[in-house]
Amino acid sequence: MTRQIILDTETTGLNAAGGDRLIEVAAVELLNRRPGAHFQRYVNPQRASHPDALRVHGLTEEFLADKPLFEQVADDLLEFVRGAEVIIHNAAFDLGFLDAELERIGRAPFTQHCASITDTLVLARTQFPGKFNSLDALCKRFGVDNTRRTLHGALLDAELLAEVYIWLTRGQDSLVIEADAATQGAAASPADLSGLALVRVAAAADELGAHERILGELQKSSSGGAVWPPSSETVA
């Protein structure tokens, strides 16, 4: 079974090296390209968000004050992604913050806890060079409904990116599974057509005559080589 993890983060700002911190991490599991479990944690960054970042995610210092520290959620996160291909949009940004948080608690970089990293921004730029390839732009391009995205949230963005990733890599239009789980993988039974009565409509005489004239013209223009010659086998 192929296991992939779509991951996204929210942060206090844009500069992990300059002390900005992770405040939310979320992930959506894909099992054979179908949705599985979700993972989501808020994190107390022990600092305020930059005003520009706060306008994007809306997660205030007061809201995050009673949330766990990153070291308290790290084991759950690493266990969730273990052994999977992790898919991130603009992966360098998220990995920069994840690695900085892991380094603070003496843990190995994020890439050492998962099988591989795939960057959907790189995929999008390859398919659509010179175009806008933000998550919102890709949702619009592929018809993925992102009307709930009034503020950025890691879990919602991961869910949207999962839909976008399917489009980028296969063109499947939705991750919604409508088939009953009990019948998934079962071979379809052949339809019983024994009771079906087919209506036969005979061509009228003038229709048959017109058909013969067209076949005659084809036979003449092909020097007698038509695949379907007139029924008379003669050409006037």
Q: Please report, for the chain, the start and end positions of each structural domain, with discontinuous segments joined by +.
A: 3-178, 197-236
> How many helices (H) and strands (E) are present in the chain, helices listed first?
8, 5
Q: Are 89 and 135 within 8 A, CB to CB? A: yes
Answer whether residue 145 shows pLDDT above 80.
Answer: yes
Residues 183 and 187: their CA atoms lie apart, in Å, by: 9
How many whole angstroms separate alpha carbon 180 and alpha carbon 64? Answer: 40
Query: What average pLDDT does the segment 98-117 reach?
Result: 98
pTM score above 0.75: no
Q: Does residue 51 have a pLDDT over 80?
A: yes
The pLDDT of residue 183 is: 43
Whether residue 152 lies in the annotated active site:
yes
> What's the CA gap between 59 and 171, in Å, rounded?
34
Confidence of residue 227 (pLDDT cuts 50, 70, 90): low
pLDDT for position 152: 82
Residue 23 · residue 41 · CB < 8 Å: no
Q: How far is CA 86 from CA 26, 42, 174, in A?
A: 12, 20, 20
d(Cα 130, Cα 137) in Å, to the nearest integer?
A: 13
pLDDT, mean of residues 158-170: 94
Joined tokens for residue 124 = 């999008």
Residue 37 is predicted with a pLDDT of 96
70: pLDDT strictly greater than 50: yes
Cα torsion angle, 80, 82, 83, 89, sign? positive
Q: Catalytic one among 38, 57, 152, 211? A: 152
Residue 180: is its pLDDT beyond 70?
no
- DSSP β-bridge partners for residue 38: 28
Whole-number pLDDT of residue 234: 46
Looking at residue 222, its pLDDT comes to 73
CATH fit for domain 3-178, picks 3.40.50.150, 3.30.420.10, 3.30.565.10, 3.90.79.10? 3.30.420.10
> pLDDT by residue (tens digit) across 182-225?
444 444 456 666 666 666 677 888 888 888 888 888 778 777 66
Residue 74, pLDDT > 90, answer yes
How many Å apart are CA 157 and CA 149, to the nearest integer?
Answer: 8
Average pLDDT, the chain: 86
pLDDT of 226 above 80: no
| Least trusted range by pLDDT, from 38-47, 149-158, 177-186, 192-201 | 177-186
Task: Pick the range with the lowest mean pLDDT from 86-90, 208-212, 224-228.
Answer: 224-228
- The alpha helices in 130-204, defined as continuous H runs, are 135-142, 154-169
Residue 225: count of CB within 10 angstroms of its CB: 9
Q: Are 25 and 77 in contact (CB under 8 A)?
A: yes
